[in-house]
Amino acid sequence: MREHRYYKEDTYPAIAYKMIYENHQPVDIDGCTFEMIIKDTQPPQATRAGGGTFQMVDAPNGRFGYYLDAADTDTEGRFELIIKVTFPSGQLVHAPDPYNMVVQSLV
């Protein structure tokens, strides 16, 4: 998987997502709520909640963005960003492909 590199406390660029079904049709995410889980890929693989914000870009076509908070990138290391999506019906899914983030020191 591709790794996306950030420096400590970076908040840009935003991360763009598109949810699609296996047949490549978009998932309508209108009315959904989102939660970001940041998982350290190194033992003990601790998890924490993301502090950034989600923004709908094109809900009927499954497009949304995540805007990082400085706390999301305050620790050096390799992380998986996992999105938990709750549909208005209460159905819960996790976005299928985690976003791989590497945070490094500027110096």
- The rounded mean pLDDT for the chain is 92
Of 101, 99, 103, give the one whose Cα is nearest residue 17.
99
Q: What is d(CA 89, CA 30) in angstroms, rounded to the nearest whole number?
A: 11
Length of the chain: 107
Could you give the percent of the chain with pLDDT greater than 90?
A: 78
Q: Could you tell me the pTM of the whole model?
A: 0.86
Q: How far apart are CA 74 and CA 72, in angstroms?
A: 6
User: 70 with 9: CB under 8 angstroms?
Assistant: yes
Quote the pLDDT of residue 95.
Answer: 78
Position 107 pLDDT exceeds 70: yes
pLDDT > 70: percent of the chain? 98
User: What is the rounded CA–CA span in Å between residue 65 and residue 2?
Assistant: 18
Q: Which residue has the higher pLDDT, 33 or 1?
A: 33
CATH 2.60.120.10 applies to domain 3-104: no
pLDDT one-digit tens code per residue, 56-99: 999 999 999 999 999 999 999 999 999 999 999 999 998 767 78
How high is the pLDDT of residue 52?
Answer: 96
Domains of the chain, residue spans: 3-104
